[in-house]
Amino acid sequence: MSRSGVVTALRRDTDLTGNGDHALPQPYLLFLGDTVEAGFAKTAFGLRDWAGDMCVGEYALPGARVSTGLPPLTPAEAQQKGARALVIGVANTGGVIPPHWVSALVEALEAGLDIISGMHAKLGDLPGLASTADRLGRRLIDVRTPPPGIKVATGAKRSGKRLLTVGTDCALGKKYTALSIVRGLQTRGVDADFRATGQTGIMIAGGGIPMDAVVADFVAGAAEMLSPDAAPDHWDIIEGQGSLFHPAYAGVTLGLLHGSQPDLFVVCHEPGRTDMLGTAGYKLPSIEEVIERTVAMGRLTNPAIRCVGISLNTSALSSAEAEAVIAETTARLALPAADPVRGGKSFDRLLDACLA
């Protein structure tokens, strides 16, 4: 279900981008590489769902088994339809750009497109890409670049209200949940901002801090910088990252939790998922375990932290199945559960709980 046209969200009180420029070239052609796992194409899906009016089509290599459903276009065709940039729509393990993708990126430059990447690998480090971009007068834009001047966290209490999305795993709806809550609160007249912490959110909002690209000692400080002092009735809805139970990404999750100092948190979960994404042998924790650990860890910087509800990604379920799992989760945990993308009365109750 598409969620294009989100009411945006990032306060422009400070430049939070590493490249010093909020204005990314749009519209986009979404590059899927040869990705076979939908969970690793979350950047493309996020842009399709929340910035669909900025996306003219998709470009995939042979062997890809993932599609956003947008029209398949070559870079030249996309440029003729008004595209100004090719966005690497993949967020794979380690944020790498395989060597066999480079020819497709060069093709995009030669077609007149800039390239935007949220990967850890830097575009300018790829053999031949920087020289081609220079020759053609095209831009290589690395979104996953932290801003300068991040300080070590102080732990000092900040004014305003904060909500953080956390999860039982990666890539299961923390960004979608935060964006949905922002829009829901804004629709009710609440002063609320979306605070992006990953590359896709930054591309949607126009700014933010890529937490997984920040040096470990400064992650909590970056979260403090991302959500500064605000008016007492202002809400910052902060996009979560990773999971406290993930063997690879728990570190960034914990730093973001401590620096965010959330008053409230929403646990995100995909019913039916049993194993951690990209990590064989690690099972998902229960929602109850995530609530318990998040409260225990979060109390360090906000003793009043509490869980306000559950966000369920029911995209793989029928409407009847989704309603049943939402009702069961609500009854079992005595907390409002909802699928923010489906919306409805259950999501209204989750918003009510946020404001209670």
Q: What is the pLDDT of residues 225-264, one digit of tens each?
A: 999 999 999 999 999 999 999 999 999 999 999 999 999 9
Question: For residues 350 and 123, what is the distance between their CA atoms, to the nearest angstrom?
Answer: 41
Q: What pairs with residue 337 in β-bridges?
A: 310
Give the model's confidence band at 42: pLDDT under 50 very low, under 70 low, under 90 confident, else very high.
Answer: confident
Per-residue pLDDT at 14 exceeds 80: no
Helix/strand/coil (H/E/C) assignment for every residue in 6-42: CCCCCCCCCCCCCCCCCCCCCCEEEEEECCCCHHHHH
Per-residue pLDDT at 161 exceeds 50: yes
At 207 the pLDDT is 85
* Joined tokens for residue 235: 């809400």
User: Are both 28-142 and 161-355 of the same fold?
Assistant: yes
Q: What is the pLDDT of residues 308-344, one digit of tens each?
A: 999 999 999 999 999 999 999 999 999 999 999 999 9
In this prediction the pTM is 0.85
At 205 the pLDDT is 87
Residues 6+ apart with CB under 8 A from 31: 44, 58, 59, 60, 86, 87, 88, 89, 90, 101, 104, 105, 108
Q: What pairs with residue 162 in β-bridges?
A: 236
Give the model's confidence band at 36: pLDDT under 50 very low, under 70 low, under 90 confident, else very high.
Answer: very high
Residue written as tokens 């609440």?
A: 190
Segment 259-273 shows an average pLDDT of: 97
CATH topology of domain 28-142: Rossmann fold (3.40.50)
Least confident of 116-120, 153-157, 306-310: 116-120
Strand, coil or helix: 264: strand
Question: For residues 18 and 286, what is the distance between their CA atoms, to the nearest angstrom?
Answer: 36
At 95 the pLDDT is 86
CATH topology of domain 161-355: Rossmann fold (3.40.50)
Per-residue pLDDT at 5 exceeds 80: no
Average pLDDT, the chain: 92
Cβ pair 58, 71 in contact under 8 A: yes
Terminal-to-terminal C-alpha distance of the chain: 29
Query: Domain extents for the chain?
Result: 28-142, 161-355
Identify whether 27 is preceded by a cis peptide bond (ω within 30 of 0). Answer: yes
At 93 the pLDDT is 80
DSSP string, 61-118: -TT-----SSPB--HHHHHHTT--EEEE----TT----GGGHHHHHHHHHTT-EEEE-
* Joined tokens for residue 317: 């379920």
Strand, coil or helix: 197: coil
Residue 245 CA, chain-centre distance (Å), reads: 18
Least confident of 35-44, 135-144, 254-263, 344-353: 35-44
* Joined tokens for residue 132: 């081609």
Helices (H), 99-244: 102-110, 129-136, 174-187, 199-205, 219-226
At 94 the pLDDT is 82
